[in-house]
Structure 1
């Protein structure tokens, strides 16, 4: 008999990694199929639940990077290693690794939009021979807002990495500017075959995809994620419904041919 997708299961916190004052990664016990870009519903009795994107996939663990923004996440931040959280999922279609193998890959992420695509970056960083080259452009508001600092150091050894911030005070270690301004500088080997993945706030995705199309990328070679629209995860609450599309069921990852119809 298949598992009841409504019923959460208990998962032990194996590690807590602090990135900023309000953003931590919780490494939770999990054994089962999961893809980068999918999400879990994390819940605490009496407080509610919140949809959280998968930011890393390990051996018997899954990483969920959480921003402290409300009642549920405030309570999650009171949990420590050895404590447990309720989870259900994973939900959504995620990023299919096979779609990008043997291709030149461009990943462009804004702020916490790096979280749902991080698992894919991790995979190809460890299997760079399965690509025709990979570039990561990641933008944050300030140096203090940068997530996954240690991962960036590891990625820079294998990938072409452009790390930029909107503003910085007397700090010349970071590039300054929006991610879109670096798209014209991309050295793409074959624009007809290169693939791009864009995740971030809706306006960032809108202008980034416009810049990629202007550069010559084909719509069918671009993927986006509407992970910010998640709510119940199973298409019952209707909060993620756009026209006839339930983002939690049909997405959150979409090929741009479909995803462009869902951008605000």
Structure 2
């Protein structure tokens, strides 16, 4: 009988610093054949004596997984003390994630805020390498300041691969050489160059207010509500649907999600 709460050990292969409080940890993962991973799924990452936390997968290769982690508490404080050569304990994958097949042949729009770029990073990576499998791919990604922008090296590569990537910050710095977009992500949604709304799909991930107003703009633009998807990680704890912390009505976010259709999630009253 398997103990579903028993984690496995994973070595830290690489650490990529994005900002003062956000790093990506590249972890060894050789269980892909037995336990394949989708973008948007999550693992419970733990350190003995410090606890565990659900962290979304932000990158997938044959032998590794990326986790982009924000330093916000005692567990993540301890995680940030572990670098290459160290290890974490993990269990998963959990949740439904994003199936890249549902995006194929479509005009894809991804709207993200801050660390909301992490759960869809794998989707962007896939289509960056397979642009012929979608009609178009537009990403609008907002950050508080230039210093908070994640995945800078990837942004350049994605743009070079031919996608329309709009990276914007809430406020331009008074000093420095930033010459990119400024403003909320919502102001760029009406400018989306979409041709066929019947064949378009959107994903919105980020802070609640950003999600609310981004969805309003997408609907005003002509998006079918059934074709808007969200990633919701509210109060996920055990990952197994046992503890009940993430339950909203009859829905367990950790198992029925964290990926939902907008039309499903909007009916849930927390």
TM-score bin, normalised by smaller chain: over 0.9
Listed one character per residue, the Cα deviations across residues 223-258 of structure 1 (whole Å, up to 9, x for unaligned) are 100025422211122221112211001000001121
Give, in whole Å, the separation in 2 of the partners of 1:192 and 1:123: 23
Q: Given the superposition, is the C-alpha separation of residues 116 and 263 from structure 1 closer, same or farther in structure 2, using an over 3 Å criterion?
A: farther
Unaligned runs of 5+ in 1: none
Matched position secondary structure for 2:150: coil
Residue in structure 2 matching 1:102, options 105, 109, 117: 105
Partner of 1:78: 81
Listed one character per residue, the Cα deviations across residues 203-233 of structure 1 (whole Å, up to 9, x for unaligned) are 1111111111111101111110002542221
Q: Given the superposition, is the C-alpha separation of residues 172 and 80 from structure 1 closer, same or farther in structure 2, using an over 3 Å criterion?
A: closer
Partner of 2:37: 34
Segments of 4+ in structure 1 off by > 4 A?
none
Partner of 2:258: 252
1:130 equivalent to 2:136? Answer: no
Give, in whole Å, the separation in 1 of the partners of 2:29 and 2:269: 32
Matched position secondary structure for 1:155: helix
Partner of 1:51: 54
Give, in whole Å, the separation in 2 of the partners of 1:263 and 1:186: 31
Higher mean Cα deviation, 13-22 or 171-180? 171-180
Partner of 1:93: 96
Higher mean Cα deviation, 189-198 or 131-140? 189-198
1:67 equivalent to 2:70? Answer: yes
CA-atom RMSD, angstroms? 1.3
* Aligned length, in residue pairs: 263
1:161 equivalent to 2:165? Answer: yes
Listed one character per residue, the Cα deviations across residues 157-179 of structure 1 (whole Å, up to 9, x for unaligned) are 12001110001123551211111
Answer whether contact 1:53 1:227 (CA < 8 A) is retained: no
Give, in whole Å, the separation in 1 of the partners of 2:140 and 2:101: 21
Answer whether contact 2:11 2:88 (CA < 8 A) is retained: yes
Answer whether contact 2:146 2:178 (CA < 8 A) is retained: no
Question: What does 1:231-246 correspond to in 2, within 5 Å?
Answer: 231-246=237-252
Give, in whole Å, the separation in 2 of the partners of 1:104 and 1:11: 37
Give, in whole Å, the separation in 2 of the partners of 1:197 and 1:169: 29
Give, in whole Å, the separation in 2 of the partners of 1:147 and 1:55: 11
TM-score calculated relative to the size of structure 2: 0.94
Matched position secondary structure for 2:38: coil
Unaligned runs of 5+ in 2: none
Answer whether contact 1:93 1:252 (CA < 8 A) is retained: yes
